[in-house]
Structure 1
Amino acid sequence: MRKRYNIQNLEELQGRIAELKAVYNSQGKLIVEDSKLYVKQFTLGALIKKYATPSSLLKVDDKLNISSKVMSLVLPVLMNSTLFRGSGFITKTLVGLATSKVGKTLDAEHLSAIFNSVKSWFGGDKKKKVKPVGYVDYGIPPDSETY
């Protein structure tokens, strides 16, 4: 479909060409800006900010029990490789069975509570030091009658 313009002379034609070039350039800049914003939505940082929030992770974990499955696999390996390193086959098997059962009962809330308690052990006391109150000047001169 062709657009018809009512152009009478050369000046009107040149004006229309300049107008179309300006529209072309502005639309090109808008398309580039919009595409940059669109691509920025799918960067790794943006996806982490959007989906890796604690509340969304807890919601996913409530549905799929990912943390309990991972803990039931990781906890026996961790215990047998650290605490029960020199133990025999039967001891490692019993520890593996017990820790896999314990790992299945752990969920994200329990893990975050355990993490916070361990963090508090190593965090050190950050109590605020109370400054001793020195002389407080209330603005009353010492030679006044109210003093």
Structure 2
Amino acid sequence: MKKMNRRYNINNLEELHAMVASLKAEHKQKGELLLKDTRVYFHQFTLGGLIKKYASSSALLKIDDKLNISSSLMSMVLPFIMNTTLFKGSGFLTKTLVGLASNKVGKSLDAEHISAIFNSVKSWFTGSKKKKEKEPQYVDYGIPPDSETY
């Protein structure tokens, strides 16, 4: 690390005290900035940061376009879910037909459809968090703009 040599033109004690105070303030400000930057850097490597980076919808869509993971996974999982939940007491023939139909539906689903379904289900439980900000309204006090009291 390169050491900086600063030269100050200090002529009396008051200037010295003022310079010491300004250097202490600068030191404190740089320390807080360094701490903030360090927190941001380490936040990238926490579990939440990694999930935000790699499990976001855009990252999943990029991976899914290449490998088509979501449709192959849904073609295996969807028949299992349908037969174990909705058609639990059904016979062999019904379960086979449901398995074939849900297999075809699962192959047609891609990451965009799955993320849209997930977002719509999530919106049922979370509600809207977006609040409309009220714009400050102009208040007219009856003083004309070219008045001397304006």
TM-score in terms of structure 1 length: 0.52
- Residue type of the alignment partner of 1:109: E
Gap regions ≥5 residues in structure 1? 1-39, 130-135, 141-147
- Bigger Rg, structure 1 or 2: 1
102, 106, 111: which is aligned to 1:103? 106
| Structure 2: runs of 5+ lacking an equivalent | 1-41, 133-138, 144-150
- Alpha-carbon distance, 1:54 to partner: 2.4
Identity, % of aligned positions: 74
- Map of 1:1-147 to 2, 5 A cutoff? 45=47, 47-124=50-127, 138=141
> Given residue 70 of structure 2, which amino acid in structure 1 is its aligned partner?
S
Work out the CA distance in 2 between the residues paired with 1:121 and 1:103.
23
Distance 1:112 1:126, change over 3 A: same
The one-letter amino acid of 2:91's match is G
Quote the RMSD (CA, aligned, Å).
3.7
Which one-letter code corresponds to 1:82 in the other structure? Answer: T
CA distance in 2, matches of 1:112, 1:47: 19
1:84-117 residue CA offsets vs partner (Å, 9 max, x unmatched): 0110000000000000100000001001111222
